[in-house]
Amino acid sequence: MNADQARNALKQVKYPGYSRDIVSFGMVKDLRVENGRCVAAIELTSADPKVAEEIRRGAERALRALPGIATVEVSVGVKAAAPVAAPSSARLDHLRRRIAVASGKGGVGKSTVAVNLALALAKLGGRVGLLDCDIYGPSVPLMMRAAAAPEVRDEKLVPVESLGIQLMSIGFLMDPDSPVIWRGPLIAQAVRQFIFDVAWGPLDWLVVDLPPGTGDAQLSLCQTVPLTGAVMVTTPQEVALLDVRKASAMFQKVNVPILGVIENMSYFLSPSDGQRYDLFGSGGGQREADRLGVPLLAQVPIEMAVREGGDAGRPVVHAAPDSAAARAFLDAAKALEKRLTP
């Protein structure tokens, strides 16, 4: 038994909540095997004692299972996090326009809008990246049919590519069956790393899918990254508009321009007779756009193809480009491009 075999055994030990192991994360700092005695030193940046204890137990279990090992000693230390430097906008010159897609509540199809808007911008000839910052419910990997873990190159994560879009999501790094229970500092750190520690290529557009609400992820992004602006997603009914107004107010307080409103699930066209049904009311998106003094970028109808495409990893802009929903997303992309082109 030697240290290389012991290191391979430690690859079974996952960091809690992640699909990656403690070896690939670079947490194993010292590992020695001598005369049936195995000594391992593991270093974390998390000060959570539960995380340290879970890793220690897992490492001991993996090492004790090795033949010829009689004694196992595992120490877990906590390394102080490096001080966070103020963001430099010069470091983001390769990300030309940085657009947040946000809503004040869940269930309005914000991630669907972010995915299809990114694809529509790519159809217009732009180089596009899509950053899934929905820490608690990352759905971009499913919607874009991308499940492979990103590679690490020169100490940076390499975006996963799908349908011509560069992708990064917490969903690539975490166990899909584990809930995310993070407090503010961890969320802030994750958002910062997804911007500065990912090897994004030169992009005309970085579309950022934010979680619903006005919490830590939204504030962290606004404080970390000079955003070009935000696109607000709503459905027509008043209960959705109430929360959108809160989210809009947050962006305004941190000096992020509102670029426009996209009204999702705007109406349903009956395939049998073409009759329009306003299932969630009508006019809400236009009223909110008028209140904010911004354009209504698109009204996206309810279509089976939108739901089916999202579940199958074939977004409607890619799979059904001639559908009414795909045309609405393309109209929104054209409106954004026109507004932000000097």
Specify burial of residue 241 (Cβ count, 10 A radius: 0-12, 13-18, 19+): buried
Check whether 87 has a pLDDT greater than 60: no
Looking at the DSSP bridge assignments, the partners of residue 114 are none
Question: Which residue ranges does the chain devote to CATH 3.30.300.130?
Answer: 3-78
* One-letter amino acid for residue 210 of the chain: L
| Fold (CATH) for 91-340 | Rossmann fold (3.40.50)
pLDDT at 236: 87
Q: In CATH terms, is domain 3-78 a member of 3.90.850.10? A: no
Check whether 64 has a pLDDT greater than 90: yes
For residues 30 and 6, give the distance between their C-alpha atoms in angstroms, rounded to a whole number: 11
Give residue-wise pLDDT tens across range 217-266.
566 666 667 789 999 998 888 766 777 787 788 787 778 899 999 999 99
Please give the distance of CA 44 from its chain centroid, rounded to a whole number.
24
The residue whose two tokens read 């917490």 is 170
Instruction: Identify the band that residue 188 occupies on the pLDDT scale cut at 50, 70 and 90.
Output: low
- Residue 139's alpha-carbon distances to 130, 145, 170, 299, in angstroms, are 12, 10, 10, 22
Angle subtended at Cα 305 by Cα 299 and Cα 310, rounded to the nearest 5 degrees: 90
pLDDT at 218: 64
CB-based contact 16:48 (threshold 8 Å): no
Higher pLDDT, 186 or 256: 256
pLDDT at 28: 93
Q: What is the percentage of the chain residues whose pLDDT exceeds 90? A: 44
Q: What is the percentage of the chain residues whose pLDDT exceeds 70? A: 84
The residue whose two tokens read 């395939």 is 271
CB-based contact 88:226 (threshold 8 Å): no
Least confidently predicted of 44-53, 204-213, 286-295, 300-309: 44-53
Structure tokens at 270: 């009956």
Work out the number of other CB atoms within 10 angstroms of the CB of residue 303.
20
Which ranges of the chain would DSSP assign to H, the alpha helix? 3-10, 49-64, 110-123, 140-143, 184-196, 216-224, 238-253, 284-292, 304-312, 316-319, 324-340
Three-state DSSP class for residue 190: helix
CB-based contact 244:169 (threshold 8 Å): no
Check whether 86 has a pLDDT greater than 50: no
Check whether 178 has a pLDDT greater than 60: no
Query: Stretch 18-30: mean pLDDT, rounded?
Result: 83
For residues 314 and 304, give the distance between their C-alpha atoms in angstroms, rounded to a whole number: 12
Query: Stretch 264-273: mean pLDDT, rounded?
Result: 88
Mean per-residue pLDDT of the chain: 84
Structure tokens at 282: 């009508």
Check whether 83 has a pLDDT greater than 50: no
Query: Stretch 308-312: mean pLDDT, rounded?
Result: 88
Give residue-wise pLDDT tens across range 93-136.
888 899 999 887 677 888 999 999 999 999 999 999 999 887 66
Question: Which residue ranges does the chain devote to CATH 3.40.50.300?
Answer: 91-340
Instruction: Identify the band that residue 84 occupies on the pLDDT scale cut at 50, 70 and 90.
Output: very low
Specify burial of residue 274 (Cβ count, 10 A radius: 0-12, 13-18, 19+): exposed
Structure tokens at 145: 């049919």
Check whether 186 has a pLDDT greater than 80: no
Ramachandran sector of residue 267 (left: φ over 0; alpha: ψ -120 to 50; beta: rest): beta
Instruction: Identify the band that residue 149 occupies on the pLDDT scale cut at 50, 70 and 90.
Output: confident
Check whether 196 has a pLDDT greater than 50: yes
Check whether 320 has a pLDDT greater than 80: yes
Least confidently predicted of 130-139, 274-283, 313-322: 130-139
Report the predicted TM-score, pTM, of the whole model to 2 decimal places. Answer: 0.71
